Amino acid sequence: MSLILGIETSCDETGASVWDTKNGIRSNIIFSQIYLHKDHGGVIPEIASRSHLEKISFIIQKALTAAGIDRADIDVIAVTNKPGLSGSLLIGVSFAKALAWALQKPLIGIDHLEGHIFSSFLEHSVPFPHICLTASGGHTALYKVHNFGDFELLGETLDDAAGEAFDKVAKMVGLGYPGGPIIEQYARKVDFQDFCNYPRSLPKSFDFSFSGLKTAVLYDLVKKNLYNLEQKILNSAITDEDKQKVASSLLVCIKDIFLQKISLAVTQNPEIKAVTFVGGVACNKFIKQSLAEFCSNNGIKFFTPSAQYCTDNGAMIAFVGGYKTEQSRFSNYELDIFE
């Protein structure tokens, strides 16, 4: 049995967790900076790194206390070193190096996306091979996962991430940040109907494109005289009902795009045993339910982490650190960060 400390600071969440390779999650502490970035409508890198610096020591101590262990009990320190905001990554990696050196314990740099890909394993035993759809504010990609640490990229976004599309459209229609949860809330009020029929991009490819979707929403609003393109402001005549229609149509469109990619992946890989849906956008109950129904109709298992493991967290980093420890894939003190 090993106790892995997982540290996550790639974007706007300071996360620390203790993963027990025999008994599972011992603790998972997350400090979300959303309130610091809210008024800016997106993450401000300088504010993010300063906040990580302020909170990291406290969050790690909290994770150790909640796990009922002492610093000296840690066997391995796993830390996100890519990809992400460089200033934010530097805080986590520098802290992890210092801790590893002080305790004389091994250090492992973890790819944040690999963390998301295996986040379903924190609570479930997922069979291989499976298809993993990762959708967050920074990334959207489809993978075929063969084994622990062995996965293949099938396709990814060519421009914006799915979460970014939710965030940007929410900002455009004045719904606040982060957009995903508010869009879902608004869409529910009109029963997830499709009013605007926005374009479903790249239907025959595993790649995604969401920047065109944002533009399609904008021009549809302009056409309906609900947005002034010259002044870049909403028309004051826009109603809450108009916003519900935009939110619902956007959500249905993104759900359709996801379903279409998964359907294509399942058809082309008949040996796959399951589908997983991970990342911040996987908090969306409507999309989760649609994907679960598709899998059930096709005799495939479906897994998605609970919300606290969908958004950025240290537990998924600690989990990957766990199997890398077994594979003896450690890092040295020259561990660098990559954006």
The site for ligand KG4 (CB under 6 A) is made up of: 11, 136-138, 163, 166-167, 178-181, 184, 279-281, 283-284, 311-312
- Shortest distance in whole angstroms from residue 252 CB to ligand KG4: 12
Cβ atoms within 10 Å of 287's Cβ, excluding its own: 25
Which of Zn ion, ligand KG4, none does residue 284 bind (CB under 5 to 8 Å by kind)?
ligand KG4
Q: Which segments within 246-292 are labelled E, that is strand?
A: 274-278
- Shortest distance in whole angstroms from residue 252 CB to Zn ion: 24
Q: What would the two tokens of residue 201 be?
A: 């991009």
Q: Sign of torsion, CA 151 253 230 182?
A: negative
Nearer to ligand KG4, 20 or 164 (CB): 164
- Shortest distance in whole angstroms from residue 261 CB to ligand KG4: 16
Fill in the amino acid letter for 238.
Answer: I
Which of Zn ion, ligand KG4, none does residue 184 bind (CB under 5 to 8 Å by kind)?
ligand KG4
Dihedral angle, C-alpha 267, 273, 279, 284, nearest 10 °: 80
**Choice from 28, 119, 136, 249 touching Zn ion (CB under 5 A):** 136
Nearer to ligand KG4, 60 or 316 (CB): 316
Nearer to ligand KG4, 200 or 224 (CB): 200
C-beta separation of 138 from 163 below 8 A: yes
Angle of the 211-223 helix axis to the 240-268 helix axis, nearest 10 = 150
Cis peptide before 129 (omega within 30 of 0): yes
Site for Zn ion in 260-319 (CB under 5 A): 312
Nearer to ligand KG4, 129 or 181 (CB): 181
Residues that bind Zn ion (CB under 5 A): 136, 312
